[in-house]
């Protein structure tokens, strides 16, 4: 990721917009179709209809969770929201932002020697957008490490 751009103004949120749109649209469509089928089938008892709607809601909920990842950067640090976890990091804790060819998402190298996956920047559907976001986050980390 050469040629670091100017860091964006804070606060800034990075998220995989197209992936999120696909997941939420698919979730709503699946919920609508399964619920409609449950209402149109004549031989179902009320409990069976309810189980169809419950299953549709469960599938929609899973897709909402998959659409949850984001990265929020502000003056005091970065909040990484992944599928089932949220982690707040001070700028000084982030040593490097990595998005290598073939990586499914960005990884942050941290001062404690660990690496944190950042699902909020992923090149799946919108590769160029993810590369741009990774460069912007890298520029922020570099600028903030010079400030501190």
pLDDT tens-digit series, residues 6-50:
889 999 999 999 999 999 999 999 999 999 999 999 999 999 999
Helices (H) and strands (E) counted in the chain, each on its own, are 3, 7
Task: Tell me the whole-structure pTM to 2 decimals.
Answer: 0.86
Distance of alpha carbon 91 from alpha carbon 106, whole angstroms: 16
Whether pLDDT at 2 is above 60: no
pLDDT, tens only, 97-132: 999 999 999 999 999 999 999 999 999 888 999 999
Tokens 């100017």 found at: 6
Residue 146: per-residue pLDDT? 72
Residue 1: per-residue pLDDT? 46
């Amino acid at each position: 990721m050469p040629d670091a751009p100017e860091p964006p103004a804070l606060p800034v949120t990075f998220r995989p917009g197209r992936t999120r749109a696909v997941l939420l649209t698919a979730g709503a469509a699946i919920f609508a179709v399964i619920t409609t089928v449950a209402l149109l089938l004549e031989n179902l008892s009320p409990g069976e209809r309810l189980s169809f709607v419950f299953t549709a809601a469960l599938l929609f909920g899973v897709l909402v969770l998959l659409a949850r990842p984001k990265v929020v950067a502000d003056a005091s640090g970065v909040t990484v929201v992944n599928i089932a976890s949220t982690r707040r990091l001070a700028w000084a804790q982030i040593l490097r932002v990595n998005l290598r060819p073939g990586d499914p998402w960005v990884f942050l190298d941290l001062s404690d020697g660990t690496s944190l996956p950042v699902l909020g920047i992923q090149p799946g559907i919108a590769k160029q957008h993810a590369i741009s976001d990774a460069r912007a986050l890298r520029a922020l980390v570099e600028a903030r490490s010079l400030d501190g």
